Amino acid sequence: MRNLDKSKWGLALLLAVSIAQQSKAQLSLTGQVRTRTEVRDGLGNLSPLGATAAAFTSQRTRLIFGYKWDRLTFGASLQDVRVWGQDAATISNADGAKLSTHEAWAELVLANSADTTIGFKAIQNLSLKIGRQELVYDDVRLLGNLDWLQQARRFDAAVLMAQHLGWALDLGVGFNQNTDGFGVVGTNYVAGNVPASALSNRNVTLGIPAGFLPTAGKGGAPMLASPLGTNGQNQNFKSFQMVYLARKFGQTKAAALFFKDDFSKYRIDSIGNAAQGVVYGRRYDQTGVNSRKTYGLMLTGQLGNASSKLGKVQWQAFGYAQSGKDRDGATIKGAYYYGANFMIQRGNFSFGPGYEVLSGNDGFTQTAGQTSKFDPLYGTPHKHWGYMDYFYVGTGSPAGGLSNGFLKFKQAGKRLITTFDIHYFGLAAATPNKLADAPTGAKIDSKLGIEYDLVLNYGLNKFTNVELGYSVMSGTNSLEYAKAGTMDKTKKIGQWAYLMINIRPDFFYTASKK
């Protein structure tokens, strides 16, 4: 099933749309999402002594369409079958161009007070959304679809959603495994997009065995000098549990989030030999998980309106904390994330400041086996910490955390929208200078740099937008040190420009007749 040519999905949709143009009444297009959760301990063969049960959820997704004419009946059914967690929540450019199923889900309505055919009336609206789906909450700081990245992000999950008397409650769960093969025991997990090979310290290419995640250095050190967050990881979580509760009071919305993600435990190991060289890495064959808990509250509100003398003011304030253990087993102590911002809009023009802090490790007082670094989970860093993606993405982030003061401007015309953002980035915690020529006890300056982001977005027609962007990072030696562990080895001015054409047609759209 995994070798199914997924290009057939595109051909099927193209064919369906083409037929629909001729006769919508004679076209049928249906789908199916079927999930099956299993615990296996002896299916097909007796399990070995001492083996633990295997558990996973598999999913079948079908696209079924047909066409009927007085001289022709046509039908086709295309299918995708996978195990939840078989791919990581997001992939990197190193994985190459991939045709995949981004979303495949079904939402089952369990209660609806407006539907007289449903007898259950205790809750106004209750539904279950199950399958491969995006998790998009609030302003995507902690949970988002990472839509800027071409690969985007999705989760294999089940979410129970309830709405009652203005309250909204979502309960979500996910459990990842990378195979449902016979003979598999236990639930030890490493994501399915681990590289197939890696270079040893003697530059010999060695194959990577199952359950082994290669790293750059002895002891399992990450490939970058600065630690990665989960937004840039290639090791997906094993499972998650989520509670999201929201309520709107007038023009103010309060949203509380609790998110627990569990990571498989590992041991430091290596593969290879003296002749071929060694690849160091992490072997995921240990029982148990490292569980991290993230919780907090976000408030958003609005005052006035855009046509009034004082204008419309949109404001936001939030605070989150983390505890438990991170994915590497370090105890999380005193990790936090807080911030506030507002935007003033008068007519088509908006502007406003903001400030936020993500805690980091104090390099002078940090205890071994502990971390105070807040990890912003699975959000959309591109939206919040500069369009050049220096922080909390696959490029690494400072161990000393981040402070971000910003000022944003926006001019919205009929077709052209212009935005200009300025970010002042700094370290949130003291970071020692450990270069050989630095005096004992020296620390680097907290200023990381200033970033300028200009974006022009033009609506060409109903389905097409053209976006032009230009960004500049005016960095410091502290930024170089925090990202690469060096000083005076890089350019201090970074630049980036892009042109993006975004075409999103509605194939069944019919223009209104004048």
Residue 371 sits in a domain whose CATH number is 2.40.160
Q: 3-state secondary structure string, 205-221?
A: EEECCCCEEECCCCCCC
Question: Which pLDDT belongs to residue 393?
Answer: 87
pTM of the shown model: 0.87
Instruction: Tell whether the model's pLDDT for residue 91 goes beyond 70.
Output: no
Averaged pLDDT for residues 188-211:
84
The answer to whether residue 2 sits within a structural domain is no
Q: Does residue 512 fall inside a structural domain?
A: no
At residue 221, the pLDDT reads: 43
Residues facing residue 212 across a β-bridge: 283
Q: Which residue has the higher pLDDT, 237 or 292?
A: 292
For position 227, what pLDDT does the model report? 45
DSSP conformation class of 326: -
For residue 480, being part of any structural domain is answered with yes
**Range of the structural domain that residue 267 is part of:** 175-503
Q: Does residue 483 sit within a domain?
A: yes
Evaluate if residue 496 carries a pLDDT over 90. yes
How many domains in the chain? 1
pLDDT at 92: 66
Residue 56 lies inside a defined structural domain of this protein: no
In a domain, 106, yes or no: no
Lowest mean pLDDT across 68-82, 229-243, 283-297, 307-321: 229-243
pLDDT tens-digit series, residues 31-72: 888 888 888 888 777 688 888 888 989 898 988 888 887 777
Q: State the Cα angle at 443 between 438 and 447, rounded to 5°.
A: 120
60 falls within a domain: no
Q: Is residue 32 part of a domain?
A: no
Cα–Cα distance list, 137 to 134, 300, 379, 500 (Å): 10, 13, 9, 25
On whether the CB atoms of residues 413 and 360 are closer than 8 A, the answer is no
Comparing CA positions, the residue from 168, 148, 324 lying closest to residue 257 is 168
Gap between the terminal Cα atoms of the chain: 50
Angle at 234 between CA 230 and CA 235, to 5 degrees: 75
395 residue type, one letter: T
Distance of CA 28 to the CA centre of its chain: 35
482: enclosing H helix or E strand: helix 477-484
Residue of 44 and 443 predicted with greater confidence: 443
The most confident of 180-189, 304-313, 408-417, by mean pLDDT: 408-417
CB-CB contact of 386 with 406 (8 Å): no
